[in-house]
Structure 1
Amino acid sequence: MSFKGEQHPGVKTPTAHTDGFRLNHTMLRVKDPEVALAFYTRVFGMRVLRRLDFEEMRFSLYFLGHPETDEQVPDDQGERTAWTFGQLGLLELTHNWGTEDKADFAYHDGNAEPQGFGHICFSVPDLEAAEAWFDANQVEFIKRSDQGKMKNVVFVKDVDGYWIEVVQADLMAAPGD
């Protein structure tokens, strides 16, 4: 691999100590796992790779991803757990038990004040078709691809109010230089 990364103030050259480090997952807390799982599996085509329950601490973790069609996913739960933690680009939905029963309960989306967390992002093969799919599934838009200063970028909300950026890779060649 000859690409060494862009250089900017603050960037440090990685050492051998970090060889093999990869981002495995990002976690979002969800109010109701049934509703959140329906959204991510139906609207974004994700698969639940593994569910882990922590009864004493009263929470469950759902790891979702897009395994390759021909990928051999282990049937054994222990092996599949280890396999899951070796994947790239997963979404972990964390459910703290009982939140689904609280009518006025909501997690902070990170975009309201005070701002913090911003969004997750999915790339799609056809942005126009994705927008039509979102419309057909009554997904709430924050921004469509033809709106605002950044064209060809869509933002939608999931069922917990988290923002999701949606892009088509070949349309992203020149934003922001």
Structure 2
Amino acid sequence: MAFNTENHPGVSPTVPKATHGFVLNHSMLRVKDPAVSLDFYTRVLGMRVLRKLDFAEMKFSLYFLARVTETDEIPEDEGTRTAWTFSQTGILELTHNWGTENDPDFKYHDGNQQPQGFGHICFSVPDLAAAVHWFDENQVSYVKRPEQGKMKNVAFIKDPDGYWIEIVQSSLLNKLGT
């Protein structure tokens, strides 16, 4: 039988039929200045903006980003692309509440200061050393470099709003947690 799940207290032994087809589509981060955040996520992390949605009455915009490849068939038509975006996995939604970029004292809680809550998002990279070199070239802020701390081969960087981003190379993690 193929692997299904690790068993721990609280884990359902079966997948409820009612949940078949459910897909984790996106995670959302609130950003102070979309131009600064879009530069970071598109230039430093190589993501592409799939769709921007403005909600003028409520004064906010949503930017949906993903890592795409040359073989991804992304629809040109905006409505079709919107529906397509909401059917994907691994999407990052950046939410901008209008005007925050003009307030020099404005800052979102990153989830890692007290009281703690949200922790981080994670990017898996093919070569951790090359990624660290790229981040250094781009003066990215680190929470933890791969050689620091007890958990080796795992880096944590910060985005412009201070959110933590874990950076891993999967082939280096086969002994993690053992």
Structure-1-length-normalised TM-score:
0.98
For residues 96-175 of structure 1, the aligned pairs below 5 Å read 96-175=97-176
Quote the residue 2:71 is aligned against. Answer: 70
Determine helix, strand or coil for the equivalent of 2:57.
helix
The Cα of 1:2 is off from its aligned counterpart by 2.3
The Cα of 1:69 is off from its aligned counterpart by 1.5
The Cα of 1:40 is off from its aligned counterpart by 0.4
CA distance in structure 1 between the partners assigned to 2:152 and 2:3 by the alignment: 28
CA distance in structure 2 between the partners assigned to 1:169 and 1:27 by the alignment: 24
Q: Aligned residues, how many?
A: 177
Unaligned runs of at least 5 residues, structure 1: none
Unaligned runs of at least 5 residues, structure 2: none
Alpha-carbon displacement from aligned partner over 1:14-35 (angstroms, at most 9, x marks no partner): 1111111111000000000000
CA distance in structure 1 between the partners assigned to 2:162 and 2:28 by the alignment: 14
Q: Which stretches of structure 1, 4 residues or more, deviate above 4 A after TM superposition?
A: none
CA distance in structure 2 between the partners assigned to 1:139 and 1:67 by the alignment: 22
Quote the residue 1:8 is aligned against. Answer: 8
Quote the residue 1:29 is aligned against. Answer: 30
CA distance in structure 2 between the partners assigned to 1:117 and 1:55 by the alignment: 28
RMSD value, Cα? 0.9
CA distance in structure 2 between the partners assigned to 1:76 and 1:14 by the alignment: 35
Determine helix, strand or coil for the equivalent of 2:39.
helix
Amino acid at match of 2:18: H
What percentage of aligned pairs have identical amino acids?
66
Determine helix, strand or coil for the equivalent of 1:95.
strand
